[in-house]
């Protein structure tokens, strides 16, 4: 049964969307939602209420894609009720038309590089089309730019400045699922940032799989210069950027953070391993020493810049000695957060055929050992903030605990109490004195 409705019923087409994976996916969904609304669809909060059900999927690790396939199992009944299903994102691109075999009631499969064509794909769907695909655009030079982004937060918003990845680390699906690296012009990024500032946004996060690999196709600005330009837009109080790749991390990024107070004092710089040997096999194209030199630049800044990282444990061939080098690197750098994952073999990637795979059990032991050590380091690091006064952006309320939830420029959670009878509004900024610390958050009192 096609989704076609009489023109006067057009506004009753409904859709539900669920998003898995990284911030790029979250923001892509905001753009997909805006595009669908522009096409006359109304977003609903439950699958039951929806004509069209979309999953924007992630395939970075195996559990992520398994979750999606588990959900796809129930479709037969819902399909008979007239509902239609679309799989978007990285699992869609990775599995392609195989999804139709595994889940025959799916009508649409599209990777992120094809979202520009969503309006056409929706028309096909409404005309009763089956097996509609957007899978062939990974070599495109175009980015998915739309003025119809439905941002879910009215104070903080994402802007994608670069899509795709050309780095081909040995373990990673992203270059296959997101296609080749392509940057937007700085003119268009700045125009979007200004529109957001005019609409009341004060906090902007620039996004890219490797955000600092950004190359302005007009040649007007380096990445650091783009950061500065966004930070200088009137009304913008906080600019974040993620994820930075060590290979493209240049000293002028640190200089920009030092010079422009609106640039947040936080850098997420995934190292993946502390062993140069493992880094070599991962095809990261830097060594431990080279990475630590970038960390030294960050540490020599006049502002205290918070650092966070990603780690993969149990990459094929990782010896106990290699793993100890990762622990020692964490001890040396003193990160404020570490996102550590067990290596997960991924389809199409070179690492899947590498010898000396590490048993799951050993990966789990290493992961837990790493998290335990890191937790103690973080406990000590967070405790250093006690007595300090910090500015937070108010994010919400925990009424049960009588706390206002806030976030610092360093991206730390700082929840606080206030003696004022009226609670500060979500999106407002507040000075807070830190009175308590935990391994992952701070607590304090409004001043």
**Binding site residues, ligand SF4, CB under 6 A:** 165, 167-169, 172, 174-175, 209-210, 245
Q: Nearest approach, Cβ of 58 to ligand SF4 (angstroms)?
A: 12
Choose which of 134, 270, 424, 444 interacts with ligand SAH (CB under 6 A): 270
Span of 229-237, 296-304, 337-345, 353-361 interacting with ligand SAH by CB under 6 A: 337-345
Residue 60 near ligand SAH by CB under 6 A: yes
DSSP single-letter state for residue 272: B
Q: What DSSP element (H or E) covers 227?
A: helix 223-231
Beta carbon nearer to ligand F3S, 155 or 178: 178
Q: Nearest approach, Cβ of 298 to ligand SF4 (angstroms)?
A: 19
Percentage helix, strand, coil for the chain under 3-state DSSP, each rounded to 5: 40, 25, 40
Residue 58 near ligand F3S by CB under 6 A: yes
Choose which of 58, 113, 161, 172 interacts with ligand SAH (CB under 6 A): 172
Residue 349 near ligand F3S by CB under 6 A: no
**Phi and psi at residue 253, in whole multiples of 5°?**
-65, -45
Give the residue nearest to ligand F3S (CB).
21
| Residue 202 interaction partner, one of ligand F3S, ligand SF4, ligand SAH, none, beta carbon < 5-8 Å per kind | none
Is the Cβ–Cβ distance between 430 and 415 less than 8 Å?
no
Beta carbon nearer to ligand SAH, 41 or 343: 343
| Residue 25 interaction partner, one of ligand F3S, ligand SF4, ligand SAH, none, beta carbon < 5-8 Å per kind | ligand F3S
Is the Cβ–Cβ distance between 200 and 155 less than 8 Å?
yes
The single residue listed with the structure tokens 């899509």 is 163
Span of 8-16, 75-83, 187-195, 339-347 interacting with ligand SAH by CB under 6 A: 339-347
For Cα atoms 355, 284, 366, give the angle at the middle one, nearest 5 degrees: 55
Residue 291 near ligand SAH by CB under 6 A: no
CA 142 to CA 111: how far, in whole Å? 14
The Cα-based distances of 364 to 144, 344, 361, 444 in angstroms read 38, 12, 5, 35
Residue 14 near ligand F3S by CB under 6 A: no
Residue 90 marked in a binding site: yes
Residue 169 marked in a binding site: yes
Q: What DSSP element (H or E) covers 373?
A: helix 360-383
Closest CA to 280 of 169, 205, 199, 391: 169
Number of residues binding to ligand SAH, judged by CB under 6 A? 17
CA 129 to CA 42: how far, in whole Å? 21
C-alpha torsion 231→236→237→240, nearest 10: -60
Is the Cβ–Cβ distance between 210 and 161 less than 8 Å?
no
Structure-block tokens of residue 92: 């869609």
**Residues 81-100 as x/- pattern, contact with ligand F3S by CB under 6 A:** --------xx----------
Beta carbon nearer to ligand F3S, 24 or 68: 24
Site for ligand F3S in 165-194 (CB under 6 A): 173-174, 177-178
Q: Binding site for [4Fe-4S] cluster: which residues?
A: 22, 58, 90, 165, 169, 172
């Amino acid at each position: 049964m096609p989704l076609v409705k009489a023109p006067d019923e057009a506004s009753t087409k409904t859709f539900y969307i669920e998003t898995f994976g990284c911030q790029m996916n979250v923001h892509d969904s905001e753009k997909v939602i805006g595009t669908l609304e522009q096409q006359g669809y109304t977003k609903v909060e439950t699958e039951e209420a929806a004509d069209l059900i979309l999953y924007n999927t992630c395939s970075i690790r195996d559990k992520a894609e398994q979750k999606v396939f588990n959900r796809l199992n129930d479709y037969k009944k819902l399909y008979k009720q007239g509902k239609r299903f679309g799989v978007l994102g990285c699992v869609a691109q990775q599995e392609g038309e195989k999804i139709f075999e595994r889940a025959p009631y799916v009508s649409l499969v599209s990777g992120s590089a094809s979202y520009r064509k969503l309006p056409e794909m929706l028309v096909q769907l409404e005309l009763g089309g089956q097996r509609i695909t957007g899978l062939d655009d990974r070599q495109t030079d175009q980015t998915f730019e739309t003025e119809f982004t439905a941002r879910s937060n009215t104070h903080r918003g994402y802007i994608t400045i670069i899509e795709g990845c050309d780095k081909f680390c040995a373990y990673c699906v992203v270059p296959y699922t997101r296609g080749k690296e392509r940057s937007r012009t700085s003119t268009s990024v700045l125009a979007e940032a200004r529109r957001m500032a005019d609409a009341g946004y004060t906090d902007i996060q620039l996004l890219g799989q490797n955000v600092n690999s950004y190359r302005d196709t007009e040649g007007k600005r380096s990445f650091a210069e783009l950061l500065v330009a966004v930070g200088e837009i009137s009304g913008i109080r906080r600019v974040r950027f993620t994820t930075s790749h060590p290979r493209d991390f240049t000293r002028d990024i640190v200089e920009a953070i030092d010079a422009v107070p609106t640039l947040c004092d936080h850098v997420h710089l995934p190292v993946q391993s502390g062993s140069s040997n493992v880094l070599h096999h991962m095809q990261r194209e830097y060594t431990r020493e080279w990475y630590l030199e970038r960390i030294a630049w960050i540490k020599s800044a006049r502002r205290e810049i918070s650092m966070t990282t990603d780690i993969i444990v149990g990459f094929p061939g990782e010896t106990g000695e290699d793993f100890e080098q990762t622990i020692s690197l964490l001890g040396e750098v003193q990160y404020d957060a570490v996102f550590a994952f067990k290596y997960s073999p991924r389809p199409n990637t070179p690492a899947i055929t590498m010898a000396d795979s590490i048993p799951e059990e050993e990966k789990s032991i290493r992961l837990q050992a790493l998290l335990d050590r890191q937790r103690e380091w973080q406990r000590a690091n967070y405790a250093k903030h006690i007595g300090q006064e910090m500015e937070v952006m108010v994010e919400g309320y925990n009424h049960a605990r009588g706390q206002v939830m806030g976030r610092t420029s360093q991206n730390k959670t700082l929840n606080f109490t206030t003696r004022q009878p009226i609670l500060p509004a979500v999106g407002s900024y507040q000075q807070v004195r830190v009175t308590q610390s935990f391994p992952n958050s701070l607590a304090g009192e409004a001043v």
